[in-house]
Amino acid sequence: MSGSADILLASAIAIAILMFSMWLLSLILKNASIVDIVWGLGFVVVAWVTHSVADGNEARGWLLTLLTTAWGLRLASYLAWRNIGHGEDFRYKAMRKHYGAKFPLVSLFTVFILQGVLMWLVSLPVQLGQVSANPSIGLLGILGVVFFVVGLFFETVGDIQLARFKANTANAGKVMQSGLWKYTRHPNYFGDACVWWGLALIAAEAEIGVVGILGAVVMSILLRRVSGVTLLEKSLKKRKEGYSDYVARTSAFIPRPPKKI
CA separation for the pair 32, 88 (Å, rounded)? 7
Structurally, how many domains does the chain consist of?
Answer: 1
Tell me whether residue 89 is in a domain: yes
Contacts for 4 with CB less than 8 Å, ≥ 6 apart: 127, 128, 131, 208
Q: Which amino acid is at 17?
A: I
Element housing 203 (H / E) = helix 187-204
Tell me whether residue 135 is in a domain: yes
Task: Specify the range with the lowest mean pLDDT, choosing from 8-12, 41-45, 57-61.
Answer: 57-61
CA separation for the pair 101, 126 (Å, rounded)? 38
DSSP labels, 15-32: HHHHHHHHHHHHHHHT-T
Q: Which amino acid is at 96?
A: R
Structural domain that includes position 201? 4-249
- Per-residue pLDDT tens over the stretch 116-156: 999 999 999 999 999 877 677 899 999 999 999 999 999 99
- Per-residue pLDDT tens over the stretch 196-248: 999 999 999 988 889 999 999 999 999 988 876 766 776 676 667 778 888 88
Tell me whether residue 254 is in a domain: no
CB of 68 closer than 8 Å to CB of 47 = yes
Q: How many other CB atoms are found less than 10 A from the CB of residue 139?
A: 9
Tell me whether residue 261 is in a domain: no
CA separation for the pair 223, 189 (Å, rounded)? 6
Tell me whether residue 150 is in a domain: yes
Tell me whether residue 259 is in a domain: no
CB of 170 closer than 8 Å to CB of 93 = no
* pTM for this predicted structure: 0.92
CB of 185 closer than 8 Å to CB of 172 = no
Tell me whether residue 92 is in a domain: yes
